Amino acid sequence: MNRQRPLVATPCQEQRNQPMESPMGGNFGRIYLTEALPGTGGRIKEKPDDFQVEEVPLYPLSGQGGFTFLFVETVNLSTLDLVDRLRDRLGIRDDEVGVAGWKDKHAITRQFVSVPRDRLLETHVSELAGDGLRILHSAHHPHKLRTGHLLGNRFSVLVREPRPGALPLASAILDRVRGGGLANFYGPQRFGASGDNPAAGRDLLTGRRTMRSVRRRKLLVSAYTSLLFNLTLKERMQRGLFAQLLRGDVAKKTETGGLFVVEDPPLEQPRADKLEISATGPIWGKKMMAPKAEALALETEVLTRQGASADLFRRQPGSRRPLRVVVRELALREEPEGLRLEFFLPKGSYATVLLDEIMKTGPGGTADRPPSDVEDGQ
């Protein structure tokens, strides 16, 4: 049934969707989409091969041009560490090293990185390898690799020592995700190890803090706008509007990425039900496509509640981010050491958000609650 939901949460919804922590706390507005389903519990990232990620490139390499693309495998080496190593050993600047995405340290990762062709000699390749780094292959291309120049990432993750009966628990959660999409929250790594990056970003925007480093400033301000997105997504989930279109929503086409304003929600809702389109949330800035009507009212309400206004972001680029994401190539199986989960996520989405949805080991999670203590349905 595609009935329009009210823009006011019911008391039951408010109680069941309480934020796990304060906005600047460890969960940054994230709540569970499948809160009524118990989690598997367990642990991840105890060994590097427990968490494997491989970039899927956006385009084929031409084989010619002024940049060398290295496809590298790292073990317990973050992308930041990788950039530092290339900079130091090749004698280049940080900004001459191109990466499509930033990867965690405690994992096995396979990703492309680009460097100026004239700065990478054959002797350098052997010098780069070792200490957690392997060069798998290389090719040339006319342009530097830029952030976001990837289709997405394939993951293979082992959940160690889940609770008894974890396989059907995980399967039930994944069935919900397959049918309705995953809540496209920014993961905790977006907000810094200490969790104070959003507050620092807010202070930079309001002038209470200054910073020389352009890269660091962008990182901190991005953490703040990411928090505001998470809080907007949480608000929609609390109001029963996760998959429901509002009048004035900026919707995104799943396959092509095209954006359009929803003028007639009942007309467009069947496409949303089939995951062909999804409503988006705000990444506040001057280039952000603005919503209208009910959607604008909701997003403005969340922003005002944080003591901010759209004018605060007048010098930021801005964009829109889908509220939900389609998880592809999902596979789940039992192994002697736990559950193995394999999946593909488009760029910008976080594997840790999916894993937390399944495991529910964060604050307020249900991993330690028996199934009988959890209500059926959502």
Write out pLDDT tens, residues 176-199.
Answer: 999 999 999 999 888 987 889 999
Q: Residue 372 carries which DSSP code?
A: G
pLDDT band at 10 (very low <50, low <70, confident <90, very high): very low
Q: What's residue 26's pLDDT?
A: 56
Q: What's residue 87's pLDDT?
A: 87
Using the predicted structure, report yes or no on whether residue 11 has a pLDDT greater than 90: no
C-beta separation of 242 from 324 below 8 A? yes
pLDDT band at 123 (very low <50, low <70, confident <90, very high): low
Looking at residues 47-67, what average pLDDT do you find?
Answer: 93
pLDDT band at 78 (very low <50, low <70, confident <90, very high): confident
Element (H, E) at 236: helix 214-238
Using the predicted structure, report yes or no on whether residue 319 has a pLDDT greater than 50: yes
Say which range, 60-64, 85-89, 130-134, 364-368, has the weakest mean pLDDT.
Answer: 364-368
C-beta separation of 161 from 43 below 8 A? yes
> What ranges do the domains of the chain cover?
11-33+180-325, 59-147
Using the predicted structure, report yes or no on whether residue 38 has a pLDDT greater than 80: yes
Residue 36's contacts (CB-CB under 8 Å, 6 or more residues apart) are 374, 375, 376, 377, 378
pTM, entire model: 0.84
pLDDT band at 374 (very low <50, low <70, confident <90, very high): very low
Using the predicted structure, report yes or no on whether residue 33 has a pLDDT greater than 50: yes
Using the predicted structure, report yes or no on whether residue 285 has a pLDDT greater than 70: yes
Q: What's residue 14's pLDDT?
A: 33
Looking at residues 78-86, what average pLDDT do you find?
Answer: 88
Report the Cα 72 to chain-centroid distance in Å.
Answer: 22
Q: What's residue 6's pLDDT?
A: 35
Q: Report the alpha-carbon distance of residue 245 to residue 269 in Å, rounded.
A: 6
Question: What is the average pLDDT value for the chain, to the nearest integer?
Answer: 87
pLDDT band at 21 (very low <50, low <70, confident <90, very high): very low
pLDDT band at 257 (very low <50, low <70, confident <90, very high): very high
Using the predicted structure, report yes or no on whether residue 314 has a pLDDT greater than 90: yes
First to last CA, the chain: 15
Using the predicted structure, report yes or no on whether residue 331 has a pLDDT greater than 70: yes
Looking at residues 21-49, what average pLDDT do you find?
Answer: 84
Share of the chain above pLDDT 90, in %: 70
Looking at residues 138-143, what average pLDDT do you find?
Answer: 92
Helix runs in 150-213, H state only? 166-180, 197-206
Q: Report the alpha-carbon distance of residue 78 to residue 76 in Å, rounded.
A: 7
List active site positions: 104
The dihedrals phi and psi of 353, each to the nearest 5 degrees, come to -70, -45
Using the predicted structure, report yes or no on whether residue 289 has a pLDDT greater than 60: yes
User: Which of the following CATH numbers is that of domain 11-33+180-325: 3.40.50.920, 3.40.640.10, 3.30.2340.10, 1.10.1740.10?
Assistant: 3.30.2340.10
Report the Cα 290 to chain-centroid distance in Å.
Answer: 22
Q: What's residue 91's pLDDT?
A: 85
C-beta separation of 332 from 339 below 8 A? yes
Using the predicted structure, report yes or no on whether residue 296 has a pLDDT greater than 60: yes
User: Which of the following CATH numbers is that of domain 59-147: 3.40.50.2300, 1.10.1040.10, 3.90.550.10, 3.30.2350.20?
Assistant: 3.30.2350.20
Using the predicted structure, report yes or no on whether residue 113 has a pLDDT greater than 90: yes
Using the predicted structure, report yes or no on whether residue 53 has a pLDDT greater than 90: yes
